[in-house]
Amino acid sequence: MPTNKQIGLVAAPAQSCGTSMLEILITILILSVGMLGLAALQGKAHTSELESYQRGQALVLLQDINSRMEGNMSDAANYVTAGVGTGATDAADCTTLATRAAIDLCEWSKALKGSSETKGGSTIKQGAMIDGRGCVAATGTNVYLLSVVWQGLDATAAPATACGKNLYDSEATRRAVTMTFLVPDLSGS
C-alpha cells in the first residue's frame, strides 16, 4: 500500500487545526459594523418616511384652500393672510364668523394645526405636519400665492416663500409647498 508521501499528501501540522480565537473576533467585528450600518439605514428610512408623509399632508391642505377659494372667487382678496395655523388664534366655532372667506381661513387654520386627529381622545392635536402654517399672498391683480410651510427634520435648502420665515428652528429645516391661484377675468375685455 502506498504511503501519504508517495501519493503527494502532506499531513497538517498540529498547530493549524480548528478556528483561532482571533479569526472569530475579527468576524464578530465585521458583523457588528454591518449591523450598525443597517441600524443607521433604518433610522434614515424612518426620517424620510415622516418627511414624505408631512409633504403629502401639506399638499392635501394646499389643495383644500385652493378649492375653498375656487368656490368663492368673487371674494378671493379677503383670503389674503400672513399666516394661519400654528401660532394663530382661531374662533372656537368657525361657522359663527361673518364671511365665507373668514370661515374658510378659520377651518384651514384648524386643519393646519392637526384638528382632524387627536391623541387618545384628549385635546392634543396629532394630525397634519409639525408646526404647520399657511399663507395666502397677493402677487398681482387677481393672482395669489398659496403656501403651506412646516418644520422638517433634516436640513436642506431654505424655501423661497416668505411664509413662516424665521419662525422655525432654522431656515434650512423649514419646508414649503406653494401653488398659484388665478382668478379668471370673465368680463370679456
Q: What is the pLDDT of residues 154-172, one digit of tens each?
A: 888 899 999 999 988 899 9
- Find the Cα–Cα–Cα–Cα dihedral 155, 156, 160, 161, rounded to 10°: -40
Distances in Å between the alpha carbon of 30 and those of 21, 23, 24?
Answer: 14, 11, 10
Q: Is 132 domain-assigned?
A: yes
- Domain contains 85: yes
Q: Where are the beta strands (DSSP E) in the chain?
A: 81-85, 133-140, 143-151, 174-182
For 107-117, give one letter per residue: b (16+ CB within 10 A) or e. bbbbbbbbbee
Classify residue 14: in a domain, yes or no.
no
Report the predicted TM-score, pTM, of the whole model to 2 decimal places.
0.76
The confidence score (pLDDT) of residue 6 equals 62
Which of 49, 51, 44, 47 is CA-nearest to residue 177?
51
pLDDT over 70 percentage in the chain: 83
The answer to the question of residue 127 being in a domain is yes
Q: What is the pLDDT of residues 88-136, one digit of tens each?
A: 888 889 889 999 999 999 999 999 988 666 666 666 666 678 889 999 9
Q: What is the extent of the structural domain holding 138?
A: 20-182
Q: Is 8 part of any domain? A: no
**Scanning the structure block, which residue is given the C-alpha cell 483561532?**
20
Within-domain flag for 140: yes
CA distance 136 to 129: 18
- 116 occurs within a structural domain: yes
How many percent of the chain have pLDDT more than 90? 54
Q: Grid coordinates in use for 101?
A: 372667506
Q: What is the number of domains present in the chain?
A: 1
Residue 5 is assigned to a structural domain of this protein: no
Q: Which residue has the higher pLDDT, 9 or 175?
A: 175
